[in-house]
Amino acid sequence: MGLTRSVLEANADEYREREPLYSVERESIETLPDAFAAGEFGRRDAEWVVQWYYRRLLGAIPDARRREREERFGRNEFETVRDAITDVAAATDPADRIGRLTALEGVDVPVASAFLFFVDPQQCIVVGEREWTALADSGELSEPYPEPPSVADYESYLERCRSLGDRFDCDMWTLYRALWRLWKDRD
């Protein structure tokens, strides 16, 4: 199925109505960017992003793997985490941003993309197999989801998402919600 503005809007609206994490995600999209930019956030705010990345899949990732990733992130010194996120909030180059975040223990490209999503939801979007697959199913990406995605893969994905945002006059938060629902409704 090809993407249209009405398809994106309908799926983003459906996300709001059906997805259990919508309200907490919306609140975080509204509050975390300013907190991250100012460095006025706590350890739990940063940990929440890592937890959100895995837990939004509602059990699709084995609990032991999810816990191991969350625990690895928790071993970072908070000052190091704060400096990385604040630096990323001030930077603009996706590769530099991803590189700074993946220097943290427990952060790979997908988790780094989650941080970017909450640091800069106007310009960045999270990457995962579900979002990527929704784009591929709609003909917007030609390659299957790379496991794991590289920085270059994320840059290509992000470029495609920004292009769609421009084409359909929607922000990345709306696009994310639409892609998530498109993936869920593809069968």
pTM exceeding the 0.75 threshold for the entire prediction: yes
What pLDDT was estimated at residue 2?
Answer: 81
What pLDDT was estimated at residue 186?
Answer: 67
What pLDDT was estimated at residue 1?
Answer: 60
CA distance 136 to 160: 11
Q: What is the mean pLDDT of residues 153-175?
A: 97
Residue bearing the bigger pLDDT, 171 or 2: 171
What pLDDT was estimated at residue 19?
Answer: 92
The sign one gets for the Cα dihedral 4, 131, 151, 141 is: negative
Tokens of 86: 């604040």
Residue bearing the bigger pLDDT, 60 or 126: 126
R_g of the chain computed on alpha carbons: 16
pLDDT in tens, 50-90: 999 998 887 677 678 888 999 999 999 999 999 999 999 99
pLDDT in tens, 141-152: 999 999 899 999
Q: How many C-beta neighbours within 10 Å does residue 48 have?
A: 17
Across 3-7, 63-67, 166-170, least confident range:
63-67
CA distance 55 to 128: 13
List CB contacts of 155: < 8 A, sequence separation 6 or more. 94, 95
